[in-house]
């Protein structure tokens, strides 16, 4: 069995973020991996669904839980292009996900800016393909503001 790298999986999350961007959504993508297999892919859908809770992470948590037929995502890894917000961090806390790998940090709206916490057993890694993830956001908002 081939073992894929964090960069490999983050690139797939980036592809999801690009799908969001094409739909006019904020370009955040997420995937959930279990046993080296992608079990959920998602991106922001807040505009399309008219739902402020339809963030990429929330969509990924729901899809992964449905796939596993379980409410907890133990032994799973979330790859997300942007640091989760407070709401998503709360959902990730309750999902008991084992690992989170983030692309870009979000110093303004990320969960750490609000003193948020993750489940004590959850590990988090920052900076995987960070520049590409950050540039997607910069390009999106630059275009939106011009």
The number of beta carbons lying within 10 Å of the beta carbon of residue 123 is 12
Q: What is the pLDDT of residues 87-110, one digit of tens each?
A: 999 999 999 999 999 999 999 999
Q: What is the pLDDT of residues 129-146, one digit of tens each?
A: 999 999 999 999 998 887
Residue with tokens 């008219």: 50
pTM, rounded to two decimals? 0.96
Q: Is residue 133 part of a domain?
A: no
Helices (H), the chain: 6-22, 46-49, 56-68, 86-95, 130-145
Active-site choice (7, 47, 57, 105): 57
Cα–Cα separations (whole angstroms), residue 11 to 77, 97, 132: 14, 20, 9
Q: Is residue 35 part of a domain?
A: yes
Residue 85 annotated as part of some ligand binding site: yes
Domains identified in the chain, total number: 1
Q: Is residue 22 part of a domain?
A: yes
- Which two tokens mark 126? 């920052």
- Residue 10 sits in a domain of what CATH number? 3.40.140.10
Q: What is the pLDDT of residues 20-64, one digit of tens each?
A: 999 999 999 999 999 999 999 999 999 999 999 999 999 999 999
Q: Is residue 135 part of a domain?
A: no
Q: Is 57 a catalytic residue?
A: yes
Please tell me the predicted confidence (pLDDT) of residue 146. 78
Cα–Cα separations (whole angstroms), residue 123 to 54, 78, 80, 141: 24, 10, 14, 30
Range of the domain at 61: 6-112
Q: Is residue 119 part of a domain?
A: no
């Amino acid at each position: 069995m081939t073992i894929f790298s964090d960069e490999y999986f983050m690139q797939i999350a980036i592809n999801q973020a690009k799908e969001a961007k094409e739909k006019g959504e904020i370009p955040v993508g997420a995937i959930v991996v279990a046993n080296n297999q992608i079990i959920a892919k998602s991106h922001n859908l807040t505009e399309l669904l008219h739902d402020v809770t339809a963030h990429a992470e929330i969509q990924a948590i729901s899809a992964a839980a449905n796939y596993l037929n379980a409410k907890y995502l133990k032994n799973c890894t979330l790859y997300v292009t942007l640091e989760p917000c407070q709401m998503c961090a709360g959902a990730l806390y309750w999902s008991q996900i084992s690992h989170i790998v983030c692309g870009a940090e979000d110093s303004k709206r990320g969960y750490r800016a609000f003193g948020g916490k993750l489940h004590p057993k959850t590990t988090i890694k920052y900076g995987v393909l960070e520049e590409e993830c950050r540039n997607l956001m910069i390009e999106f908002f630059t275009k939106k503001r011009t």
